[in-house]
Amino acid sequence: MSIVANKPEPLLYEMSNPGTVGYSLPECDVPMTQLPSDLLRSELNLPEVGEVDVVRHFTRLSQKNYCVDLGIYPLGSCTMKYNPKVNEEAIRLAGFSQVHPMQPAETAQGAMQLMYELQEYLGAISGLPGVTLQPAAGAQGELTGVLVIRAYHLARGDTARSEILIPDSAHGTNPATSAMAGYQVVQVKSDARGNMDSEDLRAKVSNKTAGIMFTNPNTLGLFEEHVRAVNQILHDAGGLVYGDGANLNAIVGVARPGDLGFDVIHSNLHKTFSVPHGGGGPGSGPVMVRPDLAQFLPSPVVAQEGETYVFKNPAHSIGRIKSFWGNFLAIVRAYVYIRSFGKEHLQEIAQDSVLNANYLLALIRDVYDPQVPERVCKHEFVLNGTRFKKEYGVNTLDVAKRIIDYGYYPPTIYFPLIVPECLMIEPTETQSKASLDEFAAALRQIAEEARANPQLLHDAPHDTPVTRLDDVKAAREPVLRYKHL
């Protein structure tokens, strides 16, 4: 990003100056050998530049990117909240950053204590006390949870259950992980209020049902109004209830899934508990289960024996789901986040995220159309762009691209699949009132532009290094080199 308007920005390859090196090594103190010539590819034509130029090149590239440290990142269903810097300080402590997963447990007691305590916290937060920290993401947590459900039925000799019920509003990972675990997926319809349609649910539950998997609040940002009744229907039929905890941010510290009748749930630490994600780092999706299911959890879990922390293998474990200890530094960050709120203040995460979403919706609902206007949203809301398409010829992609011109990352679009021209906005609790006001003003301005000058939206974004891309062409004919040779 040049501070002089329109000054061309040098590209690394074009800065190449033969003979320039970006490093210098000390004198070699071992005998030199010749590298096999087939390992040295002369046709690569790598740029020869100094260290300063490399740093400037990558700094320039990073400035073209958008991140949670720059502004609101309203990507619905992703909970792109601010990642506190104290988390990063904690992970740099040598006892965490230098610990090796194969070192003897007695030399890693501090790290194991942290894992044990996080297991305890997540058990208390969810109301489901059996905990594994192993899964590397929400989707892997789902797979783990479904395998636990499967192990439970098989251990009871109940081998005929072959189906998992999943509402039509679900995230794509829910049917994918259920199918990976060997189950048939049976879809349950949503009703006009955004709940699961109870008649359809009753019609689809049977003695073939192993369980149900659903998100609460669901992907419409709405609390499932009949959650206890749904869970009771499943239990009466001998099935178990899996909670996709991706939306835990809306209820953390306020309601416990275990109290609502869930048997198994995962939590995306990289959402609710402020671990960076997207380009920012690996995720973590611990799974929490009711006490009698703990025997099936992946091995190992951390247990306390007197003053000592030890790794234990649950009696009928489904086995390993991830190497070593899971994504340990994600676990440390989540621990720090929970401790920095403390038990007394944890519910403020949920309260403020719900307040922010409702405040933002109130600022724009006269110009955009909420999918279920009669209901209060939880931590996010879903808009239906059908009217914009019909009246102005503008679709949701156009709106999202225009949002980029206002300096924001666009919200999630076209998900959940059941909402036509869907725009899904999740501000999170870490936005100030001022930043919500500014974002709402931009959205209102864009709605006015859609009415008065739809072409402006069709051509957006206007101010980015590349403008509207042909997504289909990019997928079918990707250009993966800087220049054609």
Ligand X SMILES: Cc1ncc(COP(=O)(O)O)c(C=O)c1O
What is the C-alpha separation between 371 and 381, in angstroms, rounded? 8
Whichever of 268 and 371 has its CB closer to ligand X, that residue is 268
Q: Does 326 interact with ligand X (rule: CB under 6 A)?
A: no
CA distances from 113 to 109, 331, 340, 418 (A): 6, 12, 17, 44
Whichever of 144 and 173 has its CB closer to ligand X, that residue is 173
**66 within 8 A of 409, measured Cβ to Cβ:** yes
**115 within 8 A of 331, measured Cβ to Cβ:** yes
Residue 165 phi, psi dihedral angles, 5° rounding: -85, 140
Q: Which of 72, 77, 214, 377 forms a contact with ligand X (CB under 6 A)?
A: 77
Closest separation in Å from C-beta 98 to ligand X: 27
Stretch that binds ligand X, among 66-74, 137-145, 304-312, 383-391 (CB under 6 A): 137-145
Closest separation in Å from C-beta 195 to ligand X: 16
Q: Does 274 interact with ligand X (rule: CB under 6 A)?
A: no
Site for ligand X in 329-358 (CB under 6 A): none
Residue 446 phi, psi dihedral angles, 5° rounding: -65, -40
In terms of C-beta density within 10 A (0-12 exposed, 13-18 middle, 19 or more buried), how is residue 40 classed? exposed
Whichever of 153 and 284 has its CB closer to ligand X, that residue is 284
Residue nearest to ligand X (CB): 138
Q: Does 327 interact with ligand X (rule: CB under 6 A)?
A: no
Beta strand ranges found along 286-348 (DSSP E)? 287-289, 301-305, 308-312
Whichever of 273 and 309 has its CB closer to ligand X, that residue is 273
Tokens of 207: 């003695």
- Give the binding-site size for ligand X (rule: CB under 6 A): 14
Whichever of 245 and 300 has its CB closer to ligand X, that residue is 245
What is the C-alpha separation between 272 and 352, in angstroms, rounded? 13
Closest separation in Å from C-beta 327 to ligand X: 11
Q: Does 268 interact with ligand X (rule: CB under 6 A)?
A: yes
Closest separation in Å from C-beta 184 to ligand X: 20
Closest separation in Å from C-beta 97 to ligand X: 23
Q: What is the CA radius of gyration of the chain?
A: 25
Site for ligand X in 283-302 (CB under 6 A): 283, 285
Q: Which of 133, 139, 293, 361 forms a contact with ligand X (CB under 6 A)?
A: 139
Largest CA distance in the chain: 78
What is the C-alpha separation between 424 and 300, in angstroms, rounded? 38
Whichever of 153 and 177 has its CB closer to ligand X, that residue is 177
Q: Which of 436, 389, 433 is closest to 413 using CA atoms? A: 389
Upstream peptide bond of 298 is cis (omega within 30 degrees of 0): no
Q: Does 133 interact with ligand X (rule: CB under 6 A)?
A: no
The residues, any chain, with a CB within 8 Å of residue 12's CB and separated by 6 or more, are 47, 49, 53, 54, 57
Whichever of 173 and 327 has its CB closer to ligand X, that residue is 173
Q: Does 190 interact with ligand X (rule: CB under 6 A)?
A: no
Closest separation in Å from C-beta 431 to ligand X: 19
Instruction: Write the interaction track for ligand X spanning residues 219-258; mark x where CB under 6 A is met and - where it is not.
Output: x------------------------x-x------------
What are the residues binding ligand X (CB under 6 A)? 77-78, 137-139, 171, 173, 215, 219, 244, 246, 268, 283, 285
